[in-house]
Amino acid sequence: MTRTILAFAIWISLLAPAAFAQEQKQFQTLQPCAPVLEMTRTVMVDYGEKPLFAAAGNQRSANNGEWYASDMMYFVNQDSGTWSLISLYADGIGCMVAAGTDFKPYTD
């Protein structure tokens, strides 16, 4: 009986890392990029969004795995509920990280 329990424990310990690794999902995304002024003008003029907050951020490249620092800006249109998150890089390029609808203040 002890051998059976020991064998089962070893079997579980070998499977656990594989199961845990499957839970950590990664995927690649495409981010449209343009000069910062063009990118911010698009969300502000075309969608009526205004800056809500800014923060320092980092993003990992899907191409080479390196981390890149950027300023992040979150824009929202509180009337229509649209929002955009843009990375602003030191070379003057802005990339759309994500955009969506149904923006609303968080209430717990």
User: pLDDT for 68-102, tens place per residue?
Assistant: 899 999 999 999 999 999 999 999 999 999 999 99
The verdict on residue 7 lying in a domain is no
Model confidence, pTM: 0.71
Query: Under a CB-based contact definition with an 8 Å cutoff, are residues 39 and 49 in contact?
Result: no
Query: Under a CB-based contact definition with an 8 Å cutoff, are residues 73 and 86 in contact?
Result: yes
Nearest to 34, CA basis, from 26, 25, 43: 43
Say how many residues make up the chain: 108
The verdict on residue 4 lying in a domain is no
Q: Is the pLDDT of residue 47 over 90?
A: yes
> For the chain, what is the domain count?
1
**Separation CA 23–CA 59 (nearest Å):** 21
Domain range for 71: 33-100
The verdict on residue 46 lying in a domain is yes
The verdict on residue 5 lying in a domain is no
